[in-house]
Structure 1
Amino acid sequence: MTSSHIIVLGDPSNHRPDYTWNPQWIFPCESPWGILEKFKLANNANVTDIFNTLGTEYVDSLKMRTSWSKKLRNLTTLEGFSDQKAHKILGNSFVSNTKNIMTRMISVLPHFLIGQNQKLIRENVAFCGKCMQWGYHSVLHQIKLFHICPFHPDQNLETKCLDCSREIPYVLSNTHTESPFRCLCGKNMTNLPKHGEFYFDIWKKAKGLKIQLLEIKKWISLTPEQLERLERIYFHRNDDLDNRPNTLLYFLQFVEPSTKENWPTIQYNVMRSASYIVTLHGEQERKFLANPEYGGFKSFFQRQHFVYQVLYNCSLQVFKSIDRHLRKTVFKDHCNCIRYFHKDVQNHEEVCAYALTYILWKQHIEQINNYWDVVNRRRIGLRKMGVNFYSKQDSHYLNRIFERWERIQGDVAHTGWTTSCWIFTKLMAFLVLNHLKNWAEVVPEFARKRILDPVISFDYKNLPFYIIFFPKVKGESAEFHYWNNTVSYQTALKQANLTCPFVKARSHKG
């Protein structure tokens, strides 16, 4: 590591400094990537030089000091960097500062996500073009909740090189850039120094940057009541939040619906239960509670089994209602196609795409082995152990959410029976109708090729973002919020180009 033309001591007691640095080159919320890129540029340093200077005791103890694992180079966990050395040499405790910023921005969400920070942090460098001109890169740029620069609200965050569209991994590396702040294609991410101007002078232009984006200002100033409200939610988190640029607005709308002209709004839907739902007892529950054997340790398992049975029965009734509604509406003209589907595939070259959509949808929800059993209306039974929902396709997903509900409510077997049914019937209906949309999207090709038993897993593709609020005490409603950023199932079926070869003979019998 060679020193540059100006040496600024990070430690006055060091009489033989071999690095160039000025603590004034670091600004609030600056990311470890930005800080270390500056350090590499100012000192013509590489990864080994940085670990020799800023590495932890564990890094110092390694015998092989030429090859560094991705775990040590990770700039999200920062496991390879000593906070004490960073403070002593750089004048900035960037390890603890970064973690504090992450906690402040992310821990607003429920605790079950705190241990999954990796899912909320971008794996590749995201940057603002204006900030990067000054060699400034913020920790906030890496958080997937934010898609606009907090300091320049008119700038969308970039995730690829503006010249070659190459991504730069968010790790300390010698190979992912040609030189500090320069893509492998040669594109310089910062402004080139003018005549008589050094990089150091350019870096100082970032001084005074302040958060300007209204949404982030609101996010970091939520009230204790709003934070407590966020603690009792579940939201769809199976997909990458990088693909949902409005997620931050969704959370803000949930805690405080906008009524101000200057506050961005997005159309969404909300369903709320009665405010006394936590203490509301259904007829079956009242009969059970009136039983003189109710109470005691032994009764706990009886209550638990009863709750599970009630949940299953509620989900079954909801699915039967949806099934009946679909047959009377979107599949009304193709009921005979469904009824005689097995005969049609034996006697005709073509198949009805509407019937195939319905059959595949129902077959996978009920996990039926053969499509002809769907037509025969074979019904799956209730498993003996554990919580069950009629949609077997969503069993694991719904069980995970039920565990979250149990942690919030406590003894669901003692209370919250009606609330459980309200929450999970709404959610299951939401899921199964989304599955129908996904099947409608792919079935036209299957129908043309006569593929009747495709092996396909949609997971939760195209599922609108939703938030469930779990009530805990009397006076609180259960809530189901969803942002309908995709088409309805009715529209999806109309747009899917489904065809029926029997359109002129809907009463055919094979």
Structure 2
Amino acid sequence: MFIVWRKEWMNEYESPWSIFEKVSLANHINRTEILKTLGNAEVKKIKKNVLTDSRRELIKLSGFDLNTLKQYLGVDLSVLNKSVISNLLKPVEYYQEPISTWFPQSLNWCPECIKGGYHSWLHQFSLFHCCPIHQIKLLSSCPKCLNRIPFLLSDLALNEPFTCKCGFKLADIGSTPWSQWKMKVEIADVPVSKWIAQGKRDDSNRLLFSPLVSSIQHFTLEPKIQSKCFFNVKVTSTQDYSYRDEFKNDLYKQNCRCFKTIDHYVRKKFIKKHLKCILMLQELRKNENEEFPPICPYAYAYVFWKQTLLGREHFYNNLVISRRRPGITVATELIEDIIDDYKNRLFAHTNLSIYDSREMFHWVINRVTSELCLNYFYEWLKIAVEGAEQISVPNRDKLDIMLQNSIPIAILKHNSDVSQKQKIEIILGNEIRFLSFMR
């Protein structure tokens, strides 16, 4: 099959997604036909209806014959992909994350850029939440049907080029002269320009953060909190000390202390006038010959916050912290995976496996744990009135959303060499409130 294409239609930082949408438009063929035409030998043998997502992915272009692709497009798209992705990831290349962490498997796009048929790797990079060109919020679902569009060469969610299955047109460039498909890409967002220009970070300037909630804008802010003390360090006798029971017991004790501190803060600030309400809810207590009284929203928020956070099956038991059970590393079982992610990143980004800087480790993990617990209580407060009235609690999917909303939007700056005396600095997003009494 002959394919019409001019390399002049390709723009700086453009992703393969919009390139192939333009190929589809110019040649009146669907996306699967593009893949079958430009695909490698294995793809050509596979029936159209059984081509899996792994063949349709746009990062490594693993379903394509790269020489054929270069011949048709006039450029080596694989090399361009690697160059742009490598440049975007240089400041965080010490992060051992799947590529999908940084480049999600569903499309993010700028509503203005897409009008000209342009989708950029800068739109797809998870730390960029606004278009660096137009400085407007990126979209991640169809404005009409609210469905997501896969970041794949796929006909699953799309109909005609740049058109959702529901009929909504992301772009209508069919009548636009091909000469206008070339556009000038000017990055107006200063933090994005700095990110691209900075390259690899040195070892003394490591950043610990959650890619799930962080934004490029946070990296330009000045640190607001600094640890008060230097950290004592000792050389470890074995490199797997973090797996020993002594370390796990220490982590559990620190976690219990954090939770008790937050629990005390919540009870003192929000719950002290509602202690009777809590007892009535936990004990399902009511007066004789009376209906069960309305549930107090504060009691609702507190009881179910504590029950779910501690991983308890029932809310009507005495919700106290118990001794560490086998296989459990923290008392706050609901957030164990998040804490574990921070722990693993901290070990991976430093030489903590060689130098036991327990003081530094616990300071970092305790800060994250405390903020997580408090943020999660605020999530329960948001739904308390409605939940108490309906006598219902969120399902697991909604709890997961509440939990993700609780992850601190904070960046911790540290040195990769923990054998050197150092202080930890914390950069905070505008939405965050790290606890003053934890400083």
- The two structures share one fold, judged by TM-score above 0.5: yes
**Alpha-carbon distance in 1 for matches of 2:242, 2:147:** 59
Which residue is equivalent to 2:67?
84
Residue 203 (1) aligns with residue 181 (2): yes
Distance 1:270 1:113, change over 3 A: farther
Query: Which sections of structure 1, spanning at least 5 residues, go unmatched?
Result: 2-17, 258-268, 282-288, 290-294, 490-510
Residue 362 (1) aligns with residue 306 (2): yes
Alignment RMSD, CA only?
3.9
**Alpha-carbon distance in 1 for matches of 2:160, 2:33:** 15
Distance 1:381 1:32, change over 3 A: same
The superposition leaves residues 218-251 of structure 1 with CA deviations (integer Å, 9 ceiling, x where unpaired) of 1111264x45466x433234x5x6xx7xx11113
Which residue is equivalent to 1:142?
124
The superposition leaves residues 423-449 of structure 1 with CA deviations (integer Å, 9 ceiling, x where unpaired) of 222222111112221222333344445
Secondary structure in 1 matching 2:198: coil
Deviation at 1:97, TM superposition (A): 0.9
Which of these residues, 306, 316, 319, is aligned with residue 256 of structure 2? 316
Secondary structure in 1 matching 2:347: helix
Which residue is equivalent to 2:405?
462
Deviation at 1:312, TM superposition (A): 2.6
**Alpha-carbon distance in 2 for matches of 1:251, 1:221:** 14
Residue 251 (1) aligns with residue 219 (2): yes
Deviation at 1:486, TM superposition (A): 6.7
Residue 170 (1) aligns with residue 154 (2): no
Contact 1:423/1:480 (<8 A) preserved: no
Matches within 5 A, 1:310-349: 310-338=250-278, 345-347=285-287, 349=292
Deviation at 1:84, TM superposition (A): 1.6
Distance 1:193 1:485, change over 3 A: same
Which residue is equivalent to 1:71?
54
The superposition leaves residues 266-300 of structure 1 with CA deviations (integer Å, 9 ceiling, x where unpaired) of xxx74321362244x9xxxxxxx9xxxxx866x98
Which residue is equivalent to 2:361?
420
Deviation at 1:396, TM superposition (A): 2.9
Residue 476 (1) aligns with residue 422 (2): yes
Distance 1:401 1:461, change over 3 A: closer
Equivalent AA in structure 2 for residue 318 of structure 1: C
Deviation at 1:252, TM superposition (A): 3.3
**Alpha-carbon distance in 2 for matches of 1:455, 1:167:** 22
Q: TM-score when scaled to structure 1?
A: 0.70
Contact 1:31/1:137 (<8 A) preserved: yes
Deviation at 1:28, TM superposition (A): 2.5
Matches within 5 A, 1:100-119: 100-117=83-100
Deviation at 1:365, TM superposition (A): 3.1
Equivalent AA in structure 2 for residue 475 of structure 1: K
Contact 1:83/1:96 (<8 A) preserved: no
Equivalent AA in structure 1 for residue 40 of structure 2: T
Equivalent AA in structure 1 for residue 310 of structure 2: E
Secondary structure in 2 matching 1:458: helix
* Structure whose CA Rg is larger: 1
Equivalent AA in structure 1 for residue 217 of structure 2: L
Equivalent AA in structure 2 for residue 234 of structure 1: L
Contact 2:18/2:118 (<8 A) preserved: yes
Which residue is equivalent to 1:31?
15
Query: Which sections of structure 2, spanning at least 5 residues, go unmatched?
Result: none
**Alpha-carbon distance in 2 for matches of 1:154, 1:455:** 36
Distance 1:461 1:146, change over 3 A: closer
Contact 1:318/1:429 (<8 A) preserved: yes
**Alpha-carbon distance in 1 for matches of 2:130, 2:395:** 39
Equivalent AA in structure 2 for residue 363 of structure 1: Q
Distance 1:344 1:75, change over 3 A: closer
**Alpha-carbon distance in 2 for matches of 1:164, 1:361:** 33
**Alpha-carbon distance in 2 for matches of 1:52, 1:398:** 45
Distance 1:189 1:473, change over 3 A: same
The superposition leaves residues 441-463 of structure 1 with CA deviations (integer Å, 9 ceiling, x where unpaired) of 33334444556x88656231432
Secondary structure in 2 matching 1:329: helix
Deviation at 1:318, TM superposition (A): 3.0
**Alpha-carbon distance in 2 for matches of 1:186, 1:342:** 50
Contact 1:275/1:474 (<8 A) preserved: no
**Alpha-carbon distance in 2 for matches of 1:212, 1:334:** 51
**Alpha-carbon distance in 2 for matches of 1:227, 1:163:** 45
Equivalent AA in structure 1 for residue 356 of structure 2: T
The superposition leaves residues 303-359 of structure 1 with CA deviations (integer Å, 9 ceiling, x where unpaired) of 944333333323323333333333333222233444566566243621444334333
Which of these residues, 395, 399, 403, is aligned with residue 340 of structure 2? 399
Equivalent AA in structure 2 for residue 436 of structure 1: F
**Alpha-carbon distance in 1 for matches of 2:163, 2:265:** 59
Equivalent AA in structure 2 for residue 145 of structure 1: L
Which residue is equivalent to 2:192?
216
Deviation at 1:86, TM superposition (A): 2.1
Secondary structure in 1 matching 2:62: coil
Deviation at 1:113, TM superposition (A): 4.9
Deviation at 1:123, TM superposition (A): 1.4
Matches within 5 A, 1:431-450: 431-448=372-389
**Alpha-carbon distance in 2 for matches of 1:53, 1:450:** 57
Secondary structure in 2 matching 1:354: helix
Q: Sequence identity of aligned pairs in percent?
A: 23
Equivalent AA in structure 2 for residue 405 of structure 1: L
Distance 1:23 1:274, change over 3 A: same
Contact 2:122/2:128 (<8 A) preserved: yes
Contact 1:311/1:420 (<8 A) preserved: no
Report which stretch shifted further, 114-123 or 100-109. 114-123
Report which stretch shifted further, 109-118 or 425-434. 109-118
**Alpha-carbon distance in 1 for matches of 2:15, 2:394:** 47
Which residue is equivalent to 1:381?
323
Contact 2:15/2:121 (<8 A) preserved: yes
Deviation at 1:104, TM superposition (A): 1.6
Distance 1:337 1:222, change over 3 A: same
Which residue is equivalent to 1:430?
371
Distance 1:102 1:422, change over 3 A: same
Secondary structure in 2 matching 1:468: strand
Residue 233 (1) aligns with residue 207 (2): yes
